[in-house]
Amino acid sequence: MPDKPREEAQGSARCPGESWDDYVNADSREVPAFLRAESYEYMGSEPLATARYTSADFFRRELEKLWPNVWQFAAREEDMPDVGDVVVYENAGRSYLVVRQDDGGVRAFHNVCLHRGRKLRLESGFAKDFKCPFHGFTWNRDGSLKEIPCRWDFSHLKNETMGLPEARVGRWGGYIFVCENNTGVSLEEYLAPLPEHFRRWKHEECTTVIHVAKVIKANWKAVSEAFMEAWHSVVTHPQILPFTGDANTLYSLWGDHVNIALTPFAVMSPHIERDGHSQQWIVDEFLKYNGRAGGADLKVKVPDGMTARRAMAEVNRVRYAQMTGHNHDQASDCELLDALVYNVFPNFAPWGGFMPNIVYRWRPWSDQGATLMEVRILNRIPPGQKIPRAVPMHMLGENETWSATELGTLGNVFDQDMANLPYVQDGLKASKTGQINLGDYQEIRIRHFHRTLDKYLARG
Ligand code: FES
Ligand SMILES: [Fe+2]
């Protein structure tokens, strides 16, 4: 029997009409090869069990097998730029002190007193040393023991073996990662090929200008998966359809830990009727609702015969160069417009490109039914200027909305996403079938995520 032709093979169907390739081929500049490369693999169409999101036992297995073995984004360099700066990073039952060392390096220690177990610090900030507020056992910033009060009563404790337990630290692109276990792949290997792709976008030259977080009443995987596909826009974010090629998104998988969604902007969604809509309308709606495009004050006139995409990219090319001092003459339209959303397993998602970059992080928040979702916006700092310290995280209360924050219009989109999630969790718990179903292509990142998760859970 001959192989089935590709167009009939399971998982090979694509949204009719324009494709990501068509937009890339129409770009006014050369598009980096990695933004053209398709790296999709059909992984089957089996349903997933809802218990993956709802079961306390599944959550316990994640705590045991997953979290200690993965590289976790713990802090940005600009969160802790000076010697003695500390970030308290907590996740999955662990608490770390991520500490800027005297030599500018970064180390991470378990934030637990080796006397009777009090947490050493509750808040990020500056530390001369780490003195336990209970009886005063004290450690130096390098984790070595400094002092034990009433030393005469602890002759059985040797200074050399009383250092704070340490986690591995890796640094890339202004991001600081920790990994609890000392064995396993290096950060470089773990992130590949992401650092190669981000070489152009230089997140190490950015700083956090907005940082908003909220506890969402849904499993951490359900929350992160709401950001792994673009096509929920058709119902959840109708206001962005005039300028979002949601179903034209290209999805690619790279190794076990990285996957990508490339969604074209300043083009009409294939879900809406095109007749009667001008290119100017696309730009007008983009400026109103995109949230990263520059806001309502910006006026852009699309010249006759030009596409909205070309016109908007050119405006951004000039505008971002003025704002950041970086020359964007060779930046492609897609790097100046589109959602280039990278996911790093299991809970970190930085956007690529030259617009202000969105960065997501999701952490389970005490149990399987809650998540701390964080959204950062990174801005590029002009060449030669010192990277400013990050703004503090703005934690929203239960009844506060994302749109009422610094995120503005972009916050509307998050409010729409978050409005679904508690009901997703409720539905997963109430499910009669105990299963969910995924699209073969547009939800491949979710399947990829679960395949990698299973690899970790299967470890001895
Ligand atoms: S618990 Fe920390 S000094 Fe006693
Ligand atoms: Fe969304």
Q: Which pLDDT score, from 0 to 100, does residue 89 have?
A: 98
pLDDT single digits (tens) 212-237: 999 999 999 999 999 999 999 999 99
Write out the H or E segment, with its range, that includes residue 48.
Answer: strand 48-49
Ligand nearest to the CA of 145: 1
Measured in angstroms, how far is the CA atom of residue 367 from the centroid of ligand 1?
Answer: 27
- Contacts of residue 422, defined as CB under 8 A and 6 or more positions apart, other chains included, come to 216, 217, 218
Q: Which pLDDT score, from 0 to 100, does residue 8 have?
A: 64
Ligand 1, pocket residues at CB < 6 Å: 113, 115-116, 118, 132, 134-137
What's the start-to-end Cα distance of the chain, in Å?
A: 41
CA dist., res. 57 & res. 54, Å (int): 9
Candidates 132, 146, 164: which one to mutate for ligand 1, based on the most atoms within 8 Å of Cβ?
A: 132
Backbone torsions φ then ψ of 361, nearest 5 degrees? -140, 140
Measured in angstroms, how far is the CA atom of residue 222 from the centroid of ligand 1?
Answer: 39
Candidates 95, 97, 112, 113: which one to mutate for ligand 1, based on the most atoms within 8 Å of Cβ?
A: 113
Residue nearest to atom 1 of ligand 1 (CA): 116
Candidates 135, 139, 154, 157: which one to mutate for ligand 1, based on the most atoms within 8 Å of Cβ?
A: 135
CB half-sphere exposure, 204, CA atoms < 13 A: 9
* pLDDT, mean of each 10-residue run, the chain (460 residues): 57 92 96 93 97 98 98 98 98 98 98 98 98 98 98 98 98 98 96 97 97 98 98 96 96 97 96 91 93 75 96 95 92 97 98 96 97 97 95 97 94 96 98 98 98 95
CA dist., res. 233 & res. 249, Å (int): 12
Candidates 95, 97, 111, 116: which one to mutate for ligand 1, based on the most atoms within 8 Å of Cβ?
A: 116
pLDDT single digits (tens) 375-401: 999 999 999 999 999 999 999 999 999
Q: Which pLDDT score, from 0 to 100, does residue 2 have?
A: 42
- Contacts of residue 13, defined as CB under 8 A and 6 or more positions apart, other chains included, come to 7, 440, 441
Ligand nearest to the CA of 157: 1
CA dist., res. 284 & res. 272, Å (int): 16
Residue given tokens 């119902």 in the structure block: 235
CB half-sphere exposure, 89, CA atoms < 13 A: 29
Measured in angstroms, how far is the CA atom of residue 27 from the centroid of ligand 2?
Answer: 26
Residue nearest to atom 4 of ligand 1 (CA): 135
What torsion, rounded to 10 degrees, do the Cα atoms 393, 408, 425, 360 define?
-50
Ligand nearest to the CA of 150: 1
Q: Which pLDDT score, from 0 to 100, does residue 1 have?
A: 37
**Length reported for the chain:** 460
Provide the 3-class DSSP secondary structure of residue 67.
Answer: helix
Measured in angstroms, how far is the CA atom of residue 129 from the centroid of ligand 1?
Answer: 14
Q: The tokens of 140 are what? A: 């130096």
